Amino acid sequence: MHALSIPTWVIHVSSVIEWVAAIWLIWRYAEVSGNLAWRSLSLGMLPALVSAMCACTWHFFDNPASLSWVVTVQAAMTLVGNFTLAIAGWWIWRSSKIPTRESGQPETIDPD
């Protein structure tokens, strides 16, 4: 645990907590708004969360060479997470363009 300063640890841990909170809030938004396409964003965020947890794990054990595979997993999860987030964004955009059965118009959510 000596590889990082306390303020840096605070940033790392709070970032993971914020990411978990964001996943949960987006999932709840999908339920409340009735637009379940937003769930794809929550699921798409999970690989990035795994990536962050890998980084914290590696630093927690003082960055040993024996855990260099964790860095590889972290990099892979970052790559996968970038793709899953892009796909989730596309899915949300696509769902906003699909007409509803009742009105024949795309569903829109009033920001107010």
- What are the tens digits of pLDDT across the range 56-70? 999 999 989 999 999
Tally Cβ neighbours within 10 Å of residue 51: 21
The predicted pLDDT at position 104 comes to 53
What percentage of the chain exceeds 90 in pLDDT? 77
What per-residue string of b and e applies to 81-103 under the rule 16 or more CB within 10 Å gives b?
beebbeebeebbeeeeeeeeeee
Tokens 């690989």 belong to residue: 47
Nearest to 22, CA basis, from 4, 37, 43, 5: 43
What is the 8-class DSSP label of residue 4? S
- What are the tens digits of pLDDT across the range 42-93? 999 999 999 999 999 999 999 899 999 999 999 999 999 999 999 999 999 9
DSSP letters spanning 46-87: HHHHHHHHHHHHHHHTT--GGGHHHHHHHHHHHHHHHHHHHH
